[in-house]
Amino acid sequence: MASQTVVTTTDTVDLGPAAGLSCRECGERFALGPIFACEICFGPLEVAYDFPSGDPEGLRKQIENGPENIWRYAPLLPVPADVAGKPNLNPGWTKLVQADNLARELGVETGKLYVKDDSGNPTHSFKDRVVAQAIEAARAFGFTTLSCSSTGNLAGAVGAAAARAGFRSCVFIPHDLEQGKVVMAAVYGGELVGIEGNYDDVNRFCSELIGDPAGEGWGFVNVNLRPYYGEGSKTLAYEICEQLGWRIPDQIVIPIASGSQLTKIDKGLQELIKLGLVEDRPYKIFGAQAEGCSPVSVAFKAGHDVVRPQKPDTIAKSLAIGNPADGPYVLDICRRTGGAVEDVTDEQIVDAIKLLARTEGIFTETAGGTTLGVAKKLIEAGAIDPSLTTVVINTGDGLKTLDAVAPTAGMSAVIRPNLDSFREAGLA
């Protein structure tokens, strides 16, 4: 592990119920700090908790009376108890849309298909959830600059959250991202650096920067703050269950980039069960990738435990991570729950974007097109049961990836401003 100049002790760190970090591989415990890999086995670290126990009714009431954002779940997150009063973007509590029109089109029973629409977050992607956790850790550890390696959405989420919370920000992206993502990341006034390379190159560069004096005092939300960052995705699981009346859905379809979101949604569901907030019932988790970046899907279908890295080539740029850090854990979860990992072509992604827009009035980005495209494919293949409750997660907003649909979503006609011209166009 590279040495960190920010020195903290557990005594001075108040991250609510977070009690320490534990290694996913060997279980070794560490004090809360800006570390992300086990000193013994190099396994990834995750946040371990001392949760309140014994009073699920009381906890449920406390949550239900909380603010309409992720801080209603503060007792289950690595944040101080007074987090809701701090300057932040208050993401979360996005809509769970009952998608009956889409269900009809896909042959799913009425009332059984839902879209969790996370495009409704402050910077229009689910990344606001994870950044909100990482920022509290950054505050606790005394960082003054926020950074990240990003496939696009994260850069915008960090820029916005840093602006609001009074941090300096300097974020890194592949130089060839969509204009919507670039502008969205730059507009908040922080530094935005394009790297000549793909996301995996950007990520490698950031790891080097952390070990260098040039990166001193920098909190990389998805690198040295990754254990805290990841916990933000648990709030998707919490919200989905609460919005379904404190019930775990039978099937959830989740996009995979690094795989963090998928693994933490599973962690969130397990916590709700342990705390007695939901009934312990079986659920299946399905992972979605684009064919042009499908390392986890390929491993799943081949029955492999090892995820072999790929060089991404897909329009789903927010999912274009060729060497996903949490890939093996995604495989474990999808296999353990009886789910699957599947991929779709760029053409199927565009079709799915338009299908969701046409049926439910939701304009998703290419990541959402990937997730819905995979859901459709798995319903058709019989892997997703159309008689059971299914939640498809829409993680981002179509306004950031206009190029994907622009060639096939234009004006029906251009006419002169008179009725004859309108009739001639055949639209009356």
Q: Using the rule CB under 6 A, give the single segment among 3-11, 43-51, 256-264, 340-348 that binds ligand PLP.
A: 256-264
Please tell me the distance from the alpha carbon of residue 332 to that of residue 125, in angstroms, as a whole number.
Answer: 26
CA-based nearest residue to 229, from 394, 82, 78: 78
Strands 18-23 and 45-49 come out as antiparallel
CB of 11 to Zn ion, least distance (A): 24
Q: Quick one: which of 140, 257, 320, 362 contacts ligand PLP (CB under 6 A)?
A: 257
* Contact between 163 and ligand PLP per CB under 6 A: no
Residue 367 engages ligand PLP in binding (rule: CB under 6 A): yes
* Residue 18 phi, psi dihedral angles, 5° rounding: -70, 120
Contact pick of 15, 21, 23, 162 for Zn ion (by CB under 5 A): 23
Q: How far is the CB of 271 from ligand PLP (least distance, A)?
A: 18
Round to whole Å and give the CA distance between 389 and 249. Answer: 6
Decide if residue 256 touches ligand PLP (CB under 6 A).
yes
The CA-atom distances, in angstroms, between 173 and each of 181, 193, 327 are: 10, 6, 21
The owner of tokens 């108040």 is: 14
* Complex with Zn ion: residue 27 or 58, whichever CB lies closer: 27
Task: Using the minimum distance from each CB to Zn ion, give the nearer residue, 23 or 113.
Answer: 23
The smaller minimum CB distance to ligand PLP, of residues 247 and 335, is found at 335
Within 141-160, the residues that bind ligand PLP by CB under 6 A are 153
Q: How far apart are CA 77 and CA 109, in angstroms?
A: 35
Binding residue (CB under 5 A) for Zn ion from 6, 14, 17, 43: 43
Q: Interface residues for ligand PLP in 38-57 (CB under 6 A)?
A: none
Q: Distance between CA atoms of 88 and 132, rounded to whole angstroms?
A: 7
Told to check if 260 binds ligand PLP by CB under 6 A, we report: yes
Among 78, 156, 227, 255, binds ligand PLP (CB under 6 A): 255
Residue among 41, 193, 413, 419 that touches Zn ion (CB under 5 A): 41
Which residue lies nearer to Zn ion by CB, 1 or 81?
1
318 binds, among Zn ion, ligand PLP, none (CB under 5 to 8 A by kind): ligand PLP
If one asks whether residue 125 binds ligand PLP (CB under 6 A), the answer comes out as yes
Give the shortest CB-356-to-ligand PLP separation in angstroms. Answer: 14
Contact between 26 and Zn ion by CB under 5 A: the answer reads yes
Q: Using an 8 Å Cβ cutoff, are 364 and 394 in contact?
A: yes
Which tokens sit at 292? 């042009």
* Helix 153-165, helix 127-141: angle, nearest 10: 50
| Beta strand spans in 265-420 (E) | 284-290, 340-344, 390-394
In the complex, minimum distance from the CB of residue 50 to ligand PLP, in angstroms, rounded to a whole number? 26
Are β-strands 113-117 and 145-149 bridged in parallel, bridged antiparallel, or unpaired?
unpaired
Quick one: 419 exposed, middle or buried, by C-beta within 10 A (0-12, 13-18, 19+)?
A: exposed
Helix, strand, coil percentages, rounded to 5, for the chain: 45, 15, 40
Considering only residues 6, 19, 25, 98, which one is a binding residue for Zn ion as defined by CB under 5 A?
A: 25
Closest by CA position to 226, among listed 87, 323, 161, 131: 131
Tokens representing 21 are: 């970090």
The verdict on 1 binding Zn ion (CB under 5 A) reads no
Beta-bridge mates of residue 252: 285, 391
Residues in CB range of 115: below 8 A, 6 or more apart: 96, 97, 99, 102, 356, 360, 362, 391, 392, 393, 394
Residues of this chain, 347-366, that bind Zn ion according to CB under 5 A: none
The DSSP bridge partners found for residue 194 are 173
Contact partner at residue 40 from ligand PLP, Zn ion, none, CB < 5 to 8 Å by partner kind: Zn ion
Structure tokens at 118: 């996370």
Nearest CB to ligand PLP, comparing residues 227 and 255: 255
Q: Which is nearer to Zn ion, 14 or 25 (CB)?
A: 25
Q: Which is nearer to ligand PLP, 127 or 377 (CB)?
A: 127
The verdict on 277 binding ligand PLP (CB under 6 A) reads no
Q: Is the CB of 219 or the CB of 369 nearer to ligand PLP?
A: 369
Task: Please report how close the Cβ of residue 35 comes to Zn ion at its closest, in angstroms.
Answer: 12
Cα Rg of the chain, angstroms: 21
Per CB under 6 A, 395 contacts ligand PLP: yes
Per CB under 5 A, residues contacting Zn ion are 23, 25-26, 28, 38, 40-41, 43
Q: Which positions touch ligand PLP (CB under 6 A)? A: 125, 127, 153, 255-261, 318-319, 365, 367, 395-396
